[in-house]
Chains A and B, each alone.
Chain A
Amino acid sequence: MIDTKQKTTLLLLSPAIIVLVMVILGPLIFSLYSSFTPFKLTRPDSINQFIGFRNYVRIFGDEDFWAAFVRTIVVLTIALNLEMLLGLGLALLVNRATMAQKTLRTIMMFPMMFSPILVGFQFRFMFNDNIGVVNNALQSLGITQEAIPWLVDKYLAIFSICVAEIWNSTSVFAILILAGLMSLPKDPLEAAEVDGCTKWQTFRHVTLPYLMPFLYIAMTIRSLDIARAYDIVQIMTGGGPAQRTELLWTMIARTGYVDAKMGMANAMSYVAILLSIFFTVFFFRKLNQARHQLGVGL
């Protein structure tokens, strides 16, 4: 039996529960259901046709999907590591600035202020092999006389996309690491100096352990971002040529909206989410370990 107090509690909570169900749970259940149907946007009645796990079975046998899955992991690994290194470097430099640090911090965040679509167009133009500024500069400087196919070559195309991603988002790492550096206690640094540690030893054994929780938070955020990368890739290469730069979400968006196969696209999305869940769990475990080493948290 529910007593009056519990009824009041339920009543008071009900608006929040209703909103959560409508905004989060409802669409999730609907999209999960539609992944078990051959739902096509242009044939609305197909939502009523239940086909069990057929979409999932097809996905597991689809080489193109798994190639995109692996490619997404490769881009994620390259971009995440380079962003971390560059972000760490930027944060250390800005932290050492003795004047105009606020201005430098603002400038450092400029790339984050651009929409990924704009960044995609900007880098597509820059890396154009015929009229792009990168080839033009390389040829003018006499470094090459070739028209380097930045957006076509198997490796260069992935590299170009990583460059755009890194340019756009390194500041996420930089700003979080800078926050870590600014909150770093002075005592351990002074103790290391008194003990005769070199600058590298101080950084490696004192500063870095303090920064690790900040690094893992940044990595969690950015791994989620990159695992669902779409805008920049779509604008720069559209996943081509010959699917060389096809990532999970360019494939899913084309399946869902251009081919109108929303049932299949939703099934792909649920498989793709496994990637995000894996990286989130992995980085949160690392975050807890780092906090544990520092003597905070679990």
Chain B
Amino acid sequence: MKVKSLTYSIALLLAGAAHADLPGKYDGVTLQAKLIGGQQYEALYSRIADWEAATGAKVEVISKKSHFEIDKEIKSDMAAGTTDWCVGSNHSSFAPQYIGLYQDLVPLLAGADIDAYVPAIIGASKVGGELIMLPRAQFDVSALYYQKSLFEDADNQAKFKEKYGYDLKPAETWAQVSDQAKFFTDPPNFYGTQFAGKDEGLSGRFYEMLIAEGGAMFDEALKPTFNSEAGVRALNWFVDMYESGAVPKGTTSYLWDELGAGFASGNVAINLDWPGWAGYFNDPEASKVANNVGVVVQPKGSAGIRTGWSGHHGFSVTSDCANPEAAASLVWFLTNEDSQKHESAGGSLPTRTAVWEHVINTADSDYRKGVLATFSEAAQHAFPVPSIAEWIEASNVLFPELQAAIVGEKTAQEALDDAAKEIEEVLMDAGYY
């Protein structure tokens, strides 16, 4: 029995040793891949050549598009049954939609260092208990950017304290953001803040505010519960910002590019935004607020919970892949410690614990160190969207109703009730109840 147990242990150790150099040998194998394209994602792909050299396999990138385009293409592939390519870029918000397309990576990565990834992010990479993607160094959670000079100005500090009765400093709560945004606003030349006003951007911002107000999108039976008092409070924050003129009137047509350009133009005081913008905002050639940018961890709602809608990119292996071991090896290689160090050197956030320490220690400026420390703390409060295949469809029902409340066509309660009714129908059609 002891001999048997010892043999088993040795076998496990050998297996572990084998997985220490997970890439393996795959001479003659060609993996087809569909990858997300775009400047911030490309640097990592130079590592594919290293994996090819190590394994003898080849990677044929058959599609490289923006995530929304890749999403459409993948859905078309699923409908046509042409899913025998092997590796696909994936995103935590989109992953639950691809039912049956990707396979569980755990059996393919047995012994690999899965515990070296941030546990919460590995949790958000699972769908129905299966690990369907490994996260790359493209983690997103928002923190609060602000123009430092506005908060350091003695005149502003005195006037703000006189009007609101407390000190002007970077906001700790969303109620303070509201006060500060109204205080700084001077339309049409200057606005207190801004927010993503359409698509999943608006749904996501509402979702995180809902959580911060103590609410929830769904109950355990997946019935919508966001039309609660907490939901109304959350939506009214956006309504109040819009009605008071503290955000640009066009904000319901803004998405990330407009928001980034708006803050960089110097016309906006406070801006909840993603980590990828930190370098751009502080670049004197691109941004009027360069050397004047502060970042603090995202504020709390009235329930004492911080907002923290998060998402991350990763890679998955299709169920129809002819060489799943080789594909898993590539996916692991592109998300291992060296790859994450390589990718996060471009400014994106890692998803491995050890790489977090590395990027903070090797940051090349105090600004960068501060940004990374802030986002490291922001990540502690991060939470993903509900893991249901219909999230994007539900979001498409929700955001026009949120817009209707923001522009004053409906009250917050009416808009949320209408959205809840329609989303319940969507989930009923999908067979949840």
**Residues of chain A whose beta carbon lies under 8 Å from any beta carbon of chain B:** 38-39, 41-44, 47, 124, 128-131, 135, 139, 145-152, 237-238, 240-243, 246, 254, 257-262
Contact = CB atoms under 8 A, between A and B. Distances in A.
A240 B404 CA distance: 9
Contacts of B243: none
A41 B253 contact: no
Given A131-B262, A238-B198, A240-B198, A257 B253 contact: no
Contacts of B76: 41
Contact of B250 (A43, A47, A128): A128
Given A241-B198, A242-B403, A42 B253 contact: no
Contacts of A241: 197-198, 252-253, 400, 403-404, 406-407
A258 B391 CA distance: 11
A157 B330 CA distance: 47
Contact of A150 (B191, B250, B396): B250
Contacts of A259: 392-393, 396
A170 to B, nearest CB: 25
Contact of B265 (A131, A139, A246): A131
Nearest to B97: A42
B250 A260 contact: no
Interface in B270-289: none
A135 to B, nearest CB: 7
B248 interface: yes
B396 A254 contact: yes
Contact of A151 (B253, B399, B429): B253
Chain A to chain B: the 6 pairs with minimum beta-carbon distance, closest first = A147-B188, A129-B250, A149-B249, A241-B252, A242-B404, A242-B403
B249 A42 contact: no
A130 B75 contact: no
B78 A42 contact: yes
Contacts of A258: 72, 392-393, 396
B99 interface: yes
A130 B267 contact: yes
Interface on chain A toward B: helix, strand, loop, or mixed SS? loop
29 contacts: A38-B429, A41-B78, A42-B75, A42-B78, A42-B99, A42-B389, A124-B253, A129-B250, A130-B250, A131-B261, A131-B267, A139-B188, A146-B187, A146-B188, A147-B187, A147-B249, A148-B249, A149-B249, A150-B250, A151-B250, A152-B249, A152-B253, A152-B407, A240-B399, A240-B403, A241-B406, A242-B406, A258-B393, A259-B393
A262 B75 CA distance: 11
A44 B81 contact: yes
B73 to A, nearest CB: 10
Nearest to A150: B250
A242 B396 contact: no
Contact of B79 (A41, A246, A254): A41
A44 B262 contact: no
Given A129-B250, A131-B262, A242-B252, 19 more contacts: A38-B429, A41-B75, A42-B75, A44-B78, A130-B188, A130-B248, A131-B261, A131-B267, A145-B188, A147-B188, A147-B250, A152-B252, A152-B407, A241-B197, A242-B401, A242-B407, A243-B400, A257-B72, A258-B72
Contacts of A238: 198-199, 253
A145 B199 CA distance: 30
Nearest to A145: B188
B409 interface: yes
Contacts of A240: 197-198, 252-253, 399-400, 403
B99 A43 contact: yes
Contacts of B191: 130
B319 to A, nearest CB: 13
Contacts of A131: 261-262, 265, 267
A230 to B, nearest CB: 14
A44 B99 CA distance: 10
Nearest to A259: B393
Given A44-B81, A259-B392, A262-B79, A129 B248 contact: yes
Nearest to A64: B400
A152 B72 CA distance: 27
Contacts of B401: 242
Nearest to B250: A129
Nearest to B429: A38
B256 to A, nearest CB: 13
Most chain B CB inside 10 Å of its own CB: which residue of A148, A246, A257, A260 = A260
Contacts of B399: 240
B367 interface: no
Contact of B249 (A129, A242, A257): A129
A13 B219 CA distance: 63
Interface string B378-413: 000000000001001100100111011011010000
Contacts of B403: 240-243
A236 to B, nearest CB: 8
Given A131-B265, A146-B188, A242-B403, A237 B392 contact: no
B420 to A, nearest CB: 16
A185 to B, nearest CB: 51
Interface string B229-269: 00000000000000000001111110000100110010100
Contacts of B80: 44
Contact of A260 (B75, B188, B406): B75
A262 B72 CA distance: 12
A43 B96 CA distance: 12
A125 to B, nearest CB: 9
B342 to A, nearest CB: 33
Nearest to A135: B188
B401 to A, nearest CB: 8
